[in-house]
Amino acid sequence: MRALSLLGLAFAISPLTTGCGPILTVWLISDAEAKLAGARAAQAEQNAVYEFTAAEAYLTKAHEELGYADYGPAIDYAFKANNLAAQGAERARDQRSKHLDQQDSSGSTSQDAPSAPPTPPSARAPSGVTIKKSPSTSGQGSPQ
């Protein structure tokens, strides 16, 4: 009698425990996809090629394992994709900030004094001086 009650308890609990694999896998995969999109926005495709490419590959493999209902490996691959996407985004941000720091230190963009727009020649003439414009020619020799 006792074995029958334990068997009944096992059947009652089993539906509650079997849903964790797919739920966790789908959650990790969607989180990895979001982090991969963030890495793409941070330009990790150019600045963190290894991390970005590996994250894409692991995410693809996680989708494949989820399709076979192999939740353990799918969780592992999704977790790896998640970590690599986060590392790629961080590395891409570091590379971009390093690149911007190098541009600032080389003096290509000076932020010390704002540059004034160029002024027309008539605005630079001292007071009391009149600037006369030469007559325009239509391309036929010298003006007469």
What are 7-29's pLDDT values in tens digits? 454 555 545 555 678 899 999 99
Return the pLDDT at 73.
95
Return the pLDDT at 119.
53
What are 38-77's pLDDT values in tens digits? 999 999 999 999 999 999 999 999 999 999 999 999 999 9
Return the pLDDT at 128.
63
Residues 6 or more apart whose Cβ sits within 8 Å of residue 135? 143
What are 90-127's pLDDT values in tens digits? 999 999 888 888 888 776 544 555 555 555 555 555 56
Q: Quick one: three-class SS letters along the chain?
A: CHHHHHHHHHHHHHHHHCCHHHHHHHHHHHHHHHHHHHHHHCCHHHHCHHHHHHHHHHHHHHHHHHHCCCHHHHHHHHHHHHHHHHHHHHHHHHHHHHHHHHHHHHCCCCCCCCCCCCCCHHHHCCCCCCCCCCCCCCCCCCCC
pLDDT top residue among 97 and 82: 82
Please check the confidence at residue 33 and state whether its pLDDT lies above 50.
yes
Q: What is the rounded distance in angstroms from the CA atom of residue 91 to the CA atom of residue 99?
A: 12
Return the pLDDT at 12.
52
CA 50: distance to chain centroid?
14
Q: What is the rounded distance in angstroms from the CA atom of residue 36 to the CA atom of residue 62?
A: 14
